[in-house]
Amino acid sequence: MTGERTIAGRVDVESARREAQAAARAAGADAHEVGEIALIATELGTNILRHAGDGWLCVTTYPGGDGATCVRIEARDSGPGIPDVPRAMTEGFTTAGGYGDGLPLVQRLADSVTVESSGAGTSIVAVKWIRSRRG
């Protein structure tokens, strides 16, 4: 399952959140995992708006070798970039007047997070493995 969405306004973030929830459910996630995946998508989409103005978010699911399923959420923009990625991943650090808890939250909820950033934009990939396999 793949869903790519342009993020240019709050309505797009909400649509991306719903798509991420649907992908998680289709992958067999329980309610807790669905909620975590929805938060990841919401945070990444909101960061696109706050720091770059627009970009895109893509939700992909794929099977693992052990029967588990992965939900991969990629956010990409062409904004100014993150000057200090390790600091941006620290609770309470903000450059936009928020609480500074967005990227640290994504890092806590995802199984892995990869951030690539330069003056030409930012790409963040969060991966969450579905472990519950609800039936």
Which token pair is 123?
């790409």
Confirm whether 54 is domain-assigned: yes
In a domain, 24, yes or no: yes
Residue 116, domain member (yes or no) = yes
Half-sphere exposure of 101 (CA within 13 A, CB side): 3
The two structure tokens encoding residue 38:
């929805």
Q: What CATH number should be reported for the domain holding residue 47?
A: 3.30.565.10
For residue 83, being part of any structural domain is answered with yes
- The answer to the question of residue 102 being in a domain is yes
Tally of domains within the chain: 1
DSSP letters for 95-124? SSSS-S-HHHHHHHHSSEEEEEEETTEEEE
Q: Evaluate whether residue 86 is within a structural domain.
A: yes
42 within domain boundaries: yes
Q: State the pLDDT at residue 41.
A: 98
Q: What is the Cα–Cα distance from 101 to 30, expressed in whole angstroms? A: 24
pLDDT in tens, the chain (135 residues): 567 899 999 999 999 999 999 999 999 999 999 999 999 999 999 999 999 999 999 999 988 767 789 999 999 999 999 888 888 887 766 666 666 578 999 999 999 999 999 989 999 999 999 976 554
pLDDT (0 to 100) of residue 135: 46
Instruction: Print the domain residue range for 21.
Output: 2-130
Answer whether residue 135 is part of any domain: no
pTM over 0.85: yes
What span, in angstroms and rounded, lies between the C-alpha atoms of 120 and 122? 7
